[in-house]
């Protein structure tokens, strides 16, 4: 079978389209025939070596398809079932072996490509808005990169929970997308300094929470935008990692909270995974949560997908199709 392999850290050219043996599921595992794999910033971090992964490895953390075979002891899912999964390495491939308790069934009315687009970013938006800081009616939040894959979904989930949503974007085209996703106010950070804009838009009261996937270029200013006892949720670093940080700053700026969450810790148990995925996929099925699948590329063009993502040339989701 074909797969995208990384043999050494590097740029997009480090992605190799190679022949590898088709895997066989072991006990408590299933073999998924992948119909679409999601492209995410964590893939970039792993490719560059920012997040350490033993090499060589097959990239990709999110996919959907059908069960092609099951290992010993597996009664659910069954061969032929449509499933999706996330947070298991090896999705940039034609087939992948996945623990049976890590796949979720795709409901009728949700396509395989929607499943592949929803798992990592949809579940991320879900845990951020419902658990890391559980938004409630009247809360004001800021979503950085509001027209990105997570951003568009997070704006929608925040609105479902009754929050007032401020978003930052880089272009007017992205601003329109963020507004369509429910952002009440959109700040064009290439033309406006978001810190004074947030203070103006909140009448100086500040925000309950900031959801920051950008990191280096937004983190410090963001701390000044929070209300006393506000929460900085740093869940990515697309502009680079945040530098050394003195926790005393949190006290000086209003007894703030800082957390650096990741999806894996919010779907630790099978029950939590199924509950989160069930709600997200249910919202998609009912039309309450809208996915923007911006681009589909052949698996062999994974390097191009990474160039687009790193160049901030994407809005919504990019899929690789074997």
pLDDT at 141: 98
Q: Which of 233, 260, 287 is the last residue of a domain?
A: 260
Same domain (yes/no): 48, 147: no
32 and 98 part of one domain: yes
Same domain, 235 and 141: yes
Q: Which domain holds residue 143?
A: 136-260
SS3 sequence, the chain? CEEEEECCCCCHHHEEEEECCCCCCCCCEEEEEEEEEECCHHHHHHHHCCCCCCCCEECCCEEEEEEEEECCCCCCCCCCCEEEEECCCCCCECEEEEEHHHCEECCCCCCHHHHHHHHHHHHHHHHHHHHHCCCCCCCEEEECCCCCHHHHHHHHHHHHCCCEEEEEECCHHHHHHHHHCCCCEEEECCCCCHHHHHHHHCCCCCEEEEEECCCCCCHHHHHCCEEEEEEEEECCCCCCCCCCCCCHHHHHCCCCEEECCCHHHHCCCHHHHHHHHHHHHHHHHHCCCCCCEEEEEEHHHHHHHHHHHHCCCCCCEEEEEC
In a shared domain, residues 221 and 311: no
- Say which residues have a Cβ less than 8 Å from residue 26's Cβ, sequence separation at least 6: 71, 72, 97
pLDDT of 202 reads: 97
Tell me, yes or no, whether 186 lies in a domain: yes
Q: For residue 112, is it within any domain?
A: yes
Give the pLDDT confidence score for residue 261 in this predicted structure: 97
User: Is the domain of 306 the same as that of 242?
Assistant: no
Tokens standing for 31? Answer: 């073999």
Last residue of a domain, one of 225, 260, 295: 260
Q: What is the pLDDT along the chain (322 residues), one digit of tens a residue?
A: 999 999 999 999 999 999 999 999 999 999 999 999 999 989 999 999 989 999 999 999 999 999 999 999 999 999 999 999 999 999 999 999 999 999 999 999 999 999 999 999 999 999 999 999 999 999 999 999 999 889 999 999 999 999 999 999 999 999 999 999 999 999 999 899 999 999 999 999 999 999 999 999 999 999 999 999 999 999 998 888 899 989 999 999 999 999 999 999 999 999 999 999 999 999 999 999 999 998 999 999 999 999 998 887 777 799 999 9
In a domain, 127, yes or no: no
- Does residue 128 lie within any of the structural domains? no
In a domain, 130, yes or no: no
**245 lies in some domain:** yes
310 and 222 together in one domain: no
pLDDT of 313 reads 76
Beta bridge partners of 34: 65
Is 37 part of a structural domain of the chain? yes
Do 68 and 142 belong together in one domain? no
Co-location of 253 and 154 in the same domain = yes
Dig out the tokens for 190 from the structure: 């290439």
Per the domain annotation, does 42 fall within a domain? yes
Indicate whether 149 and 250 sit together in one domain. Answer: yes
**Same domain, yes or no, for 164 and 273?**
no
- Number of structural domains (the chain) is 2
Indicate the residue among 208, 230, 260 that finishes a domain. 260
Q: Based on the domain organization, do 207 and 303 belong to the same domain? A: no
Please check whether residues 280 and 226 belong to one and the same domain: no
The CATH number of the domain where 316 resides is what?
A: 3.90.180.10
What distance in Å separates the CA atoms of residue 291 and residue 122, rounded to the nearest whole number?
Answer: 9
- Domain at 227, CATH number: 3.40.50.720
């Amino acid at each position: 079978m074909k797969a995208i392999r990384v043999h050494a850290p590097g740029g997009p050219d480090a992605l190799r389209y190679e022949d590898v043996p088709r895997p066989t599921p072991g006990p408590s595992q299933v073999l998924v025939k992948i119909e679409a794999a999601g492209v995410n910033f964590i893939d970039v971090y792993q490719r560059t070596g920012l997040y350490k992964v033993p090499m060589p490895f097959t990239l990709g953390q999110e996919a959907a398809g059908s069960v092609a075979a099951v290992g010993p002891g597996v009664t659910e899912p069954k061969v032929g079932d449509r499933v999706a999964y996330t947070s298991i390495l090896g999705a940039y491939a034609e087939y992948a072996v996945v623990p049976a308790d890590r796949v979720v069934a795709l409901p009728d009315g949700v396509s395989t490509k929607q499943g592949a687009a929803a798992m990592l970013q949809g579940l991320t938006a879900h845990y951020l808005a419902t658990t890391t800081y559980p938004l409630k009616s009247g809360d004001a939040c800021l979503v950085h990169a509001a027209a990105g894959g997570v951003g568009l979904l997070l704006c929608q989930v925040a609105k479902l929970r009754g929050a007032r949503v401020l978003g930052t974007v880089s272009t007017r085209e992205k601003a329109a997308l963020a507004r369509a996703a429910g952002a009440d106010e959109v700040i064009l950070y290439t033309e406006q300094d978001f810190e004074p804009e947030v203070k103006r838009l909140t009448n100086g009261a500040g925000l309950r929470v900031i959801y920051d996937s950008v990191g280096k270029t937004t983190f410090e200013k963001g701390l000044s935008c929070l209300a006393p006892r506000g929460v900085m949720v740093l869940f990515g670093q697309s502009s680079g990692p945040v530098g050394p940080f003195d926790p005393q700053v949190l006290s000086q700026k209003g007894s703030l909270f800082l957390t650096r969450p990741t999806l894996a810790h919010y779907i630790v148990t099978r029950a939590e995974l199924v509950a989160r995925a069930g709600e997200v996929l249910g919202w998609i099925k009912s039309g309450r949560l809208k996915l923007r699948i911006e681009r589909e590329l052949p698996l062999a063009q994974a390097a191009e997908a990474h160039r687009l993502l790193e160049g901030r040339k994407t809005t919504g989701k990019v899929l690789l199709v074997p």
